[in-house]
Each structure stands twice: as structure tokens, then as C-alpha cells.
Amino acid sequence: MRRIGMFLAIAVAFIAGTFVPSGHTQDQITGHLVTVHYLKVKPGKREDYLRMERNLWKPAHELLVKGKKMQSWAVYEVKAIPSPTGGRTAGVTADYDFVTFTVHDESQDYGKYEETALMSVHPDKTIPAITQRTTETRDTVKRELWTLVEQAR
């Protein structure tokens, strides 16, 4: 489990680093936050989950990026867990199998804009319906808020 955490930390550092303009000082870099959601897809719901992320959440997050309410949003799937001997295990045994990363400024509370973005891109849907469709496909295992403290470019 510790190796997964290290992998995710490296992935987020890379993701966050790609959204920091060159020429900024280290103090300006640390203003970036990453909200991380660890998700467990319900049995037999993988394709429904991916369709839900692509069709419901991605358009709303694209609108928030375009409106500069966040820098980026991404969904990653855990494919294999490194074994202690350095090889790969045959399958995923983690408590979660997908992770979303939302990169945003410390000064921006992107969450307060999500509902408005969802209603803008899905005027025919309601928030309770979107929430229900989301929870039918996956559970949130945990959420974390990360801040960038160092990077190599």
C-alpha cells in the first residue's frame, strides 16, 4: 500500500508540475493544491463508471478549467501494484481502483463552482440525479488535499 502512495505522489507531482508556468518562484509554486479522490468502482460497473466520468463530470470540469476555476482534472486507473520484490502483481488488490486529481489554486474553492458547471453543461439533469448516477457506479474510499512543495523540471 505504501508503494501505491509513492506512485500517486509522483504522479501528482508530475501533473501539478505541468500546470505551473515557467519563471515562477518557489513561493508561487506552493499555491497549487491537488484534491485527490480515491474511488472504488462497484462490481461489474467499470464501463458505467468510465461513461459517467466522461459524459457527466468531464464536461463540467472542462468548463471550470476554461473559466480558470481550476487548472486541470484527471482520472487515473490503478493497473497493477508493485510487489516488494520489484515485479508486478497479477492484479489490483487495493481498496480503490481509480483516483481523480483536481489541480487548483489555493485561493480558489473550485467545489463551490461544480454545481453551477454541472447545470450549465447538463441543463436537462438535476444535481440529485447526477449524484445518484455517480454513487450507483462507485464509492469514495477517501479524499485528500495535497500541496506542492518541491518539483524538478
For position 8, which CATH number holds?
3.30.70.100
DSSP state of 54: I
For the chain, the domain total comes to 1
Query: For residues 131 and 5, what is the distance between their CA atoms, to the nearest angstrom?
Result: 28
The phi, psi pair for 71, rounded to 5°, reads: -90, -40
pLDDT of residue 81: 64
**Could you tell me if residue 153 is inside a domain?**
no
| pLDDT level of residue 31 (50, 70, 90 thresholds) | low
Higher pLDDT, 120 or 16: 120
Sign of the CA dihedral 41, 46, 50, 53? negative
pLDDT of residue 150: 83
**Could you tell me if residue 58 is inside a domain?**
yes
Cα–Cα–Cα angle for 41, 89, 151, nearest 5°? 75
Query: For residues 83 and 1, what is the distance between their CA atoms, to the nearest angstrom?
Result: 10
Give the domain range for residue 124: 2-147
| Confidence check: pLDDT of 2 > 70 | no
**Could you tell me if residue 72 is inside a domain?**
yes
**Could you tell me if residue 87 is inside a domain?**
yes
Q: For residue 93, give Cα distances in angstroms to 22, 40, 42, 52.
A: 39, 11, 14, 23
pLDDT of residue 85: 67
pLDDT of residue 83: 65
| pLDDT level of residue 44 (50, 70, 90 thresholds) | very high
| Confidence check: pLDDT of 107 > 80 | no
Contacts of residue 19, defined as CB under 8 A and 6 or more positions apart, other chains included, come to 32, 71, 72, 103
Average pLDDT over all residues of the chain:
80
**Could you tell me if residue 137 is inside a domain?**
yes
Residue with cell 438535476: 126
**Could you tell me if residue 68 is inside a domain?**
yes
**Could you tell me if residue 123 is inside a domain?**
yes
| Report field, pTM of the whole predicted structure over 0.85 | no
pLDDT of residue 74: 97
**Could you tell me if residue 152 is inside a domain?**
no
pLDDT 10s digits, 81-97: 666 666 655 555 578 99
